[in-house]
């Protein structure tokens, strides 16, 4: 059940309130509000713009890689084993592949990643060559002209945004039952599909803020929906999110527990607010708590019924560090957090130049 504004008439006065559900199956209680904005929080009437860049000084988020291959560049574990049996030399061209389903539910999938392959190497692998030919035929028969044109490069994904180094993976769709959208660090060797978003050059600090209740409250209020599940977009959710104004500490090249966490090349000057190193330490504690359960999937770890107490406590400590970075403590609920963030958003965007759209040429008058 989603929140709706509630109005109570007392004489000639209209008292506005926002319903808060402590239990989705229970009855709501209304919190008085001065103004109910389009996102159902007590904040100014603001409509978030679709932005191409973040309003804060953070790494950009991009879509994952899009194959458009008819499935011929993708491999199940059985298909991978069969391919390597016939063409053992193909092993260097096979990479682990993660869509949202594989990432959240621990499923194994692979792909042919043929970036940089030479004609001689390709011809030496007949089974791989068959798959490339099948990709070519699939794209040639597409109704889209752009896809047809990409038949000329059938060895490659149609859209390749894969970073060379590590990145944070954010699934584009996540269950509404979860208090946190599960995110993770991946090495550049693991290919991310367009069912996820990626943040190249991100650090433990970025992971910590994004994994906090502060950010996830923002997600719950401003994201789109697929049925009732959250749809995480870069243009609305990530790019409009106001980050705390603090010093971002450099991260070590590798975080504990085998998690890749690329370091910043340079640390920005100290700004007002809390300390980023406390957020990094709390973020690492979240990763360490996850690592205590190597056989559990992220879906299980973040299910409200099966989330381990150690992970719950780690997230609580992370929330305390992130809230302190914003200079606030003891938020009562998500609505209060989001109202606070909207005020930061208003202050931040008032100083930003508007995003300009390309001008359209006006038609010339005929002579």
Residue 312 CB partners (closer than 8 Å, separation 6+): none
Count of structural domains within the chain: 2
From 104-108, 261-265, 363-367, the region with the lowest mean pLDDT = 261-265
Average pLDDT for 285-297: 98
Tell me if 68 is assigned to some domain.
no
Tell me if 229 is assigned to some domain.
yes
Q: Are residues 168 and 147 in the same domain?
A: no
Position 6 pLDDT exceeds 50: no
Last residue of a domain, one of 104, 133, 153: 153
Position 85 pLDDT exceeds 60: yes
Predicted local confidence at residue 33, as pLDDT: 55
Q: Are residues 189 and 262 in the same domain?
A: yes
Tell me if 55 is assigned to some domain.
no
Predicted local confidence at residue 10, as pLDDT: 41
Predicted local confidence at residue 366, as pLDDT: 42
Average pLDDT for 219-248: 88
d(CA 302, CA 106): 13
Tell me if 181 is assigned to some domain.
yes
Position 42 pLDDT exceeds 60: no
Q: Are residues 168 and 262 in the same domain?
A: yes
Tell me if 250 is assigned to some domain.
yes
Last residue of a domain, one of 124, 153, 182: 153
**Positive or negative CA dihedral for 59, 60, 64, 66?**
negative
Q: Are residues 204 and 318 in the same domain?
A: yes
Per-residue confidence at 367, pLDDT binned at 50, 70, 90? very low
Q: Are residues 249 and 293 in the same domain?
A: yes
Q: Which tops the pLDDT comparison, 352 or 69? A: 69
Per-residue confidence at 25, pLDDT binned at 50, 70, 90? low
User: How confident is the model over 304-330, as pLDDT tens digits?
Assistant: 999 999 999 999 999 999 999 999 878
d(CA 94, CA 84): 10
The share of the chain scoring above pLDDT 90, in percent, equals 66
Tell which residue, 67, 193, 221, has the closest CA to residue 139. 67
Tell me if 361 is assigned to some domain.
no
Q: Are residues 246 and 340 in the same domain?
A: yes
Predicted local confidence at residue 5, as pLDDT: 41
Tell which residue, 210, 216, 199, has the closest CA to residue 304. 216
Average pLDDT for 214-225: 91
Tell me if 355 is assigned to some domain.
no
Compute CA distances 288 → 14, 106, 278, 310, 314, whole Å: 51, 18, 15, 9, 9
Q: Are residues 239 and 120 in the same domain?
A: no
Predicted local confidence at residue 250, as pLDDT: 61
Is the model's pTM score more than 0.85? no
Average pLDDT for 162-183: 95
Position 274 pLDDT exceeds 50: no
| DSSP states along 56-103 | SSSPPPEE-BB--STTTTEE-HHHHHHHHHH-GGGGGGEEEEE-HHHH
Q: Are residues 110 and 236 in the same domain?
A: no
Predicted local confidence at residue 223, as pLDDT: 87
Candidate ranges 14-23, 65-74, 226-235, 321-330; pick with highest mean pLDDT: 65-74
Average pLDDT for 6-22: 47
Position 82 pLDDT exceeds 50: yes
User: How confident is the model over 101-129, as pLDDT tens digits?
Assistant: 999 999 999 999 999 999 999 999 999 99
For residue 129, what are the domain limits?
A: 74-153
From 36-50, 162-176, 293-307, 311-325, the region with the lowest mean pLDDT = 36-50
Tell which residue, 313, 281, 311, 315, has the closest CA to residue 296. 311
Tell me if 218 is assigned to some domain.
yes
DSSP count for the chain of H helices, then E strands: 11, 14
Q: Are residues 327 and 206 in the same domain?
A: yes
Q: Are residues 149 and 191 in the same domain?
A: no
Q: Are residues 185 and 319 in the same domain?
A: yes
Predicted local confidence at residue 169, as pLDDT: 98
Last residue of a domain, one of 153, 179, 197: 153
Predicted local confidence at residue 228, as pLDDT: 79
User: How confident is the model over 331-340, as pLDDT tens digits?
Assistant: 888 989 999 9
Position 207 pLDDT exceeds 90: yes
The share of the chain scoring above pLDDT 70, in percent, equals 75
Predicted local confidence at residue 270, as pLDDT: 37
Position 349 pLDDT exceeds 90: no
Q: Are residues 168 and 222 in the same domain?
A: yes
């Amino acid at each position: 059940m989603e929140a709706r504004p509630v109005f109570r008439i007392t004489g000639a006065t209209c008292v506005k309130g926002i319903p808060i559900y402590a239990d989705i199956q229970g009855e709501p209680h209304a919190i008085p509000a001065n103004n109910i904005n389009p996102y159902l929080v007590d904040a100014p009437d603001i409509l978030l713009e679709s932005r191409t860049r973040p309003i804060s000084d953070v790494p950009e988020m991009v879509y994952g890689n899009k194959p458009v291959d008819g499935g011929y560049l993708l491999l199940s574990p059985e298909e991978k084993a069969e391919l390597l049996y016939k063409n053992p030399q193909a092993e260097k061209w096979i990479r682990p592949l993660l869509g949202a389903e594989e990432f959240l539910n621990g499923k194994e999938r692979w792909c042919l990643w043929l970036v940089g392959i030479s004609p001689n190497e390709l011809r030496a692998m007949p089974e791989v060559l068959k798959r490339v030919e099948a990709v070519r035929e699939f794209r040639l028969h597409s109704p889209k002209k752009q896809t047809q044109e990409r038949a000329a490069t059938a060895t490659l994904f149609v859209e390749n945004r894969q970073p060379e180094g590590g990145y944070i993976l954010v699934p584009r769709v996540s269950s509404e039952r979860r208090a946190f959208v599960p995110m993770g660090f991946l090495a550049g060797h693991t290919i991310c599909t367009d069912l996820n978003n990626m943040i190249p050059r991100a650090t433990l600090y970025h992971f910590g803020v994004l994994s906090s209740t502060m950010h996830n409250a923002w997600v719950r209020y401003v994201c789109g929906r697929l049925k009732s599940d959250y749809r995480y977009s870069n243009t609305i959710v990530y790019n409009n999110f106001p980050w705390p104004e603090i010093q971002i500490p450099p991260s070590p090249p590798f975080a504990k527990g085998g998690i890749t966490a690329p370091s910043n090349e340079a640390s920005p000057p100290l700004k007002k607010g809390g300390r980023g190193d406390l957020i990094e330490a709390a973020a690492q504690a979240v990763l360490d708590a996850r690592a205590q359960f190597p056989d559990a999937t992220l879906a299980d770890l973040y299910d409200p019924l099966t989330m381990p107490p150690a992970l719950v406590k780690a997230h609580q400590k992370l929330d305390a560090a992130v809230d302190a970075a914003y200079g606030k403590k003891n938020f009562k609920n998500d609505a209060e957090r989001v109202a606070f963030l909207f005020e930061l958003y208003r202050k931040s965007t008032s100083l930003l130049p508007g995003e300009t759209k390309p001008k359209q040429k006006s038609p010339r008058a005929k002579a």
